[in-house]
Amino acid sequence: MGAARQSLRCTRAGLSAVAGVRAAGVACGLKKNGRPDLALVVADRPATVAATFTLNRVQAAPIQVSKRHLRGGRFSAIVLNSGNANACTGPQGLRDAEATVAEAARILGRPAGEVFVASTGVIGRPLDMAAVRAGIREAARALAPRGGGRAARAIMTTDTMAKEAAVRFTASGRRVTVAGMAKGSGMIAPHMATMLAVVATDAAVQPRLLQTALREAVAASFNCVTVDGDTSTNDMVLCFATGAAGAPPLAAGTRAFETFRQALRQVCLALAKMIARDGEGATKLAEVRIQGARSAREARRAAETVATSSLVKTTLFGEDINWGRIMAALGRSGARFDPERVDLWVDHVPVVRNGMSLGLRAESAANRRLRRREFALIASLRVGRAEARLWTTDLSEAYVRINAGYRT
Amino acid sequence: MGAARQSLRCTRAGLSAVAGVRAAGVACGLKKNGRPDLALVVADRPATVAATFTLNRVQAAPIQVSKRHLRGGRFSAIVLNSGNANACTGPQGLRDAEATVAEAARILGRPAGEVFVASTGVIGRPLDMAAVRAGIREAARALAPRGGGRAARAIMTTDTMAKEAAVRFTASGRRVTVAGMAKGSGMIAPHMATMLAVVATDAAVQPRLLQTALREAVAASFNCVTVDGDTSTNDMVLCFATGAAGAPPLAAGTRAFETFRQALRQVCLALAKMIARDGEGATKLAEVRIQGARSAREARRAAETVATSSLVKTTLFGEDINWGRIMAALGRSGARFDPERVDLWVDHVPVVRNGMSLGLRAESAANRRLRRREFALIASLRVGRAEARLWTTDLSEAYVRINAGYRT
């Protein structure tokens, strides 16, 4: 009964499902509307940690501090605030991120080097440190094993729902959990986004192994989701392993580790899809699948070009398969193919064969699929065997409304 | 009094201002709403010709036919239809484009190889050739030296206004005119777009010289304008030279040729800006200027990333300088720079110095500029001397409305 054969099922539980983790979410006044805006997540004992960060050249102060602390490989806590990104805030921003860490370390009695920090919200405004300090004190008092849900709510910005996911499996006879929380919901693009995620596991995993597994999981999940093609200055996915499940440390190459990798990927993918589904103004979640490309790189570029095309995305909102826009996006993607050999489907419904319409009846059938909340756009280039898969949303009038008025 | 010192002024005249040109625009039924949808432009005598075409791998049938005819270097006429792009229409589409050319050639009594064809509209629908043939016959009867305005109206799709521009100068004592028409208005992106333009001049210019001048002018105009980052299957800019002004042929390296180049660039830039201003749902025209980049390529990439960012474009629509989004776009553009040295302006109003806000008063002053119809977003990276300039529009709710419902 090898662990790799366990069928993994994803549930809507969050950090509260992981042994050895306490969390809290409070309102400290960074958001003017009084909503929760500061989350604290603590490992009962120092845990191992891995993280991936935005590739944007402009990196917010908390990213710089957390990157430095990652080198130590140990995790005690993370402070996350919403409402203010602490980005483009210069030396003062860096001092504020460090002061946030120091305050949490002091109150929790942990080394500052094991405390991480993440922020999301408006760029270029100084952080209200009095509010942050008060928030940390209040959150520390509120820490609870069942506080994961409150933490998940406290990191929301324009998100309309809290995002949590969990997967359980058995390793060495112990029940092991991987669970996490995330927030979107604009600036969502491959290579990280306005996106924060904290994933915890009660498995025991060495930092290097954890980093490998996380990098892989992020590549197959958060980096395959796009809302608006933008990439923020604050993105961060952090994963810590408490070992509190009591199972022996996972070793590379074992079935138990394979199951863990799979569970981690599943949790990340579930969170990533929630982010897309809850993308600003999104009413649809579309999987863009490119098949038969010359190379994985060309498949990926073709998928990205289709998934980020404003014209394709408005077509999805309009629920009318204007497939010429998909052809045009493929054509400018740089992928090599013969337009007169391309096939397109919506889910299992064929729309285009050899670059030409299969007729109005086929298009009507495709339009019926587009009326659903979720569907796949599939393009077969028929020049090779490489594939790529991305998730995208439609572009609605609400996206514009939200983003034109976000700051005011 | 060298020709190069003439100050060139752009007017709203169009093809009708060019000697040796007749044009017409008629409604032949391709558009269901009965609006004009077929234009015919004819040179009284065979002219020289140059053209640039979409770089999209998916190329509409008329593009394929016109590309072939360009090799001959001679121009008698061009048929342009709106309402149907004749793209992704397979072998039948190619036969239809050829039949269009043949019909015009027959009626005008000119060689088919000197007749060009361009289409814009919905992709993937067969062209109604009975309508096109009737339209060509009617347009041929309606041809007139003052028909340029009607031709400009007949190539519109979602454009809200006809686009014409003209520049006059003196060469060898003769009054020479360069004038043209264009249409937008979605899928507008660098490297050509859903964009057709026909420019004529009564100067005499050899095809190779004309091609050089046109390629340069297009690079500095149509390829510097973006509405939605998409690039269509049908884009084409064609320029023909009738020589009817009576001036001797322009020779490379002469002042007269330099003035012609400048005039051509000015006409193209005027048309390109009209396209951007009339971009689908656009309420603003923003010049994105990147200064102090390491290389021209990096400057261009930075400008493109800012100019196509949905978050930046919604900010412009919202008239609130959320400059963090500009920083974030610069940061993911691939251009090398130090975020803590970047300066930003809106027109002459400084907003960010050394990567940080100059305060709320500066931002308010910038917001007052954003309330105008036209302004410049200027970013100085301060790591080199390279520059780039692009024009973009805001992203409005109307863009979504237009594009979600376009086909139905």
On chain B, the residues whose CB falls within 8 A of the CB of A352 are: 88, 124
Residue A308 pLDDT class (50, 70, 90 cuts): confident
Alpha-carbon torsion B249, B255, B261, B264, what sign?
negative
Q: Is the pLDDT of residue B92 over 80?
A: yes
Chain B contact present for A336, CB below 8 A: yes
- Smallest Cα distance from B340 to chain A, Å: 7
pLDDT in tens, A276-298: 888 777 889 999 999 999 999 99
Residues of chain A found within 8 Å of residue B408, distances taken between Cβ atoms? 318, 320
Confidence of residue A322 (pLDDT cuts 50, 70, 90): confident
Residue A186 scores a pLDDT above 80: no
| pLDDT for position A314 | 86
Higher per-residue pLDDT: A144 or B234: A144
Tell me how close the Cα of A378 comes to any Cα of chain B, in angstroms. 17
Provide the CATH topology of domain A3-277: L-amino peptidase D-ALA esterase/amidase (3.60.70)
Q: Is there a contact between B314 and A90 if contact means CB atoms under 8 Å apart? A: no
User: With an 8 Å Cβ cutoff, are B327 and A404 in contact?
Assistant: no
Band the pLDDT of A396: cuts 50, 70, 90.
Answer: confident
Q: Which entry of A194, A231, A242, A259 is annotated as an active-site residue?
A: A194
Average pLDDT of the residues of chain B: 91
What are the structure tokens assigned to A342, written together?
């391309």
Rounded to two decimals, the ipTM of the complex is: 0.77
> Tens of pLDDT along A343-393?
999 999 999 999 999 999 999 999 999 999 999 999 999 999 999 999 998
Q: Does A314 touch chain B (CB under 8 A)?
A: yes
pLDDT digits (tens, 9 = 90+) for A187-236: 544 443 478 999 999 999 999 999 999 999 998 898 888 765 566 778 89
- pLDDT exceeds cutoff 70 at B100: yes
Q: Which of A90, A187, A331 sits opposite B56 (nearest CB)?
A: A331
Asked whether residue B70 carries a pLDDT value surpassing 90, the answer given is yes
* CB contact A94 to B (< 8 Å): no
At residue B189, the pLDDT reads 44
Q: Is A328's CB within 8 Å of B232's CB? A: yes
Q: What is the pLDDT of residue B56?
A: 85
Calculate what percentage of chain B has a pLDDT beyond 90: 75
Residue A107: its pLDDT value, please?
Answer: 98
- Report the alpha-carbon distance of residue B196 to residue B54 in Å, rounded: 10
The answer for B 233-262 residues in CB contact with A (under 8 A) is 233
pLDDT at B4 over 60: no
Look at residues B226, B231, B61, B59 and name the one whose alpha carbon lies nearest to residue A333: B231
Least Cα separation, residue B327 to chain A (angstroms): 7
For residue B96, pLDDT beyond 70: yes
Q: What is the pLDDT of residue B186?
A: 57
Above 60 in pLDDT, residue A37?
A: yes
CATH code assigned to A285-404: 3.10.20.340
- Percent of chain A with pLDDT strictly greater than 70: 94
Tell me the pLDDT tens digit for each residue of B363-394.
999 999 999 999 999 999 999 999 999 999 88
Is the model's pLDDT at A406 over the cut of 50?
no
Closest residue, chain A, to B402 (C-alpha): A314
Residues 6+ apart with CB under 8 A from A348: none
Of B328, B400, B406, the CB nearest to A230: B328
B93: pLDDT confidence band, cut at 50, 70 and 90?
Answer: very high
Give the 3-state DSSP-derived string for chain B, with helices as H, strands as E and coil as C: CCHHHCCCCEECCCHHHCCCEEEEEECCCCCCCCCCCEEEEEEEEEEEEEEEECCCCCCCHHHHHHHHHHCCCEEEEEEEEEEECCCCCHHHHHHHHHHHHHHHHHHHCCCHHHEEEEEEEECCCCCCHHHHHHHHHHHHHHCECCCHHHHHHHCCCCCCCCEEEEEEEEECCEEEEEEEEEECCCCCCCCCCCCEEEEEECCCCCHHHHHHHHHHHHHCCHHHEECCCCCCCCCEEEEEECCCCCCCCCCCCCHHHHHHHHHHHHHHHHHHHHHHHCCCCCCCEEEEEEEEECCHHHHHHHHHHHHHCHHHHHHHHHCCCCHHHHHHHHHHCCCCCCHHHCEEEECCEEEEECCEECCHHHHHHHHHHHCCCEEEEEEECCCCCEEEEEEEECCCHHHHHHHHHCCC
- Of all residues in chain A, the one with the smallest CA distance to B351 is A124
pLDDT at B160: 87
Residue B298 above 90 pLDDT? yes
Q: Tell me: pLDDT of A120 over 50.
A: yes
CA separation for the pair B301, A124 (Å, rounded): 23
Q: Give me the residue from A122, A324, A401 closest to B123, CB to CB.
A: A324
pLDDT at A278: 85
The pLDDT assigned to B185 comes to 66
**How far is the CA of B75 from the CAs of B50, B69, B200, B238, in angstroms?**
9, 9, 11, 10
Q: What is the pLDDT of residues A67-102, one digit of tens each?
A: 999 999 999 999 999 999 999 999 999 999 999 999
What are the domain boundaries of chain B? 3-277, 285-405
Q: pLDDT band for B293, please (50, 70, 90 cuts).
A: very high
pLDDT digits (tens, 9 = 90+) for B152-208: 999 998 888 999 999 999 998 999 999 999 998 655 444 434 789 999 999 999 999
pLDDT class of B405 with cuts at 50, 70, 90: low
Q: What is the pLDDT of residue A248?
A: 94
Cβ-contact B105, B46 below 8 angstroms? no
In A101-220, beta strands by DSSP E? 115-122, 163-171, 174-183, 196-201
Question: Would you tell me which residues 45-84 of chain A have a C-beta closer than 8 angstroms to some C-beta of chain B?
Answer: 55-59
Among B residues 340-359, those touching chain A with beta carbons less than 8 Å apart: 340, 352, 354-357
Superfamily of domain B285-405: ArgJ beta chain, C-terminal domain (3.10.20.340)
Active site members of B:
194
Cβ-Cβ contacts under 8 Å, A88 against chain B: 323-324, 327, 339, 352, 355-357
Q: For residue A194, indicate whether it is catalytic.
A: yes
Instruction: Express each pLDDT in B103-139 by its tens digit.
Output: 999 999 999 999 999 999 888 889 999 999 999 999 9
| pLDDT attached to residue A403 | 67
**Mean pLDDT of chain A, nearest integer:** 91
- A201 contact B CB<8A: no
Rounded Cα gap, residues B227 and B313, in angstroms:
10
pLDDT classification of A3: cutoffs 50, 70, 90:
very low
Rounded CA gap, B124 and B85, in Å?
Answer: 8
Residue A55: per-residue pLDDT? 83
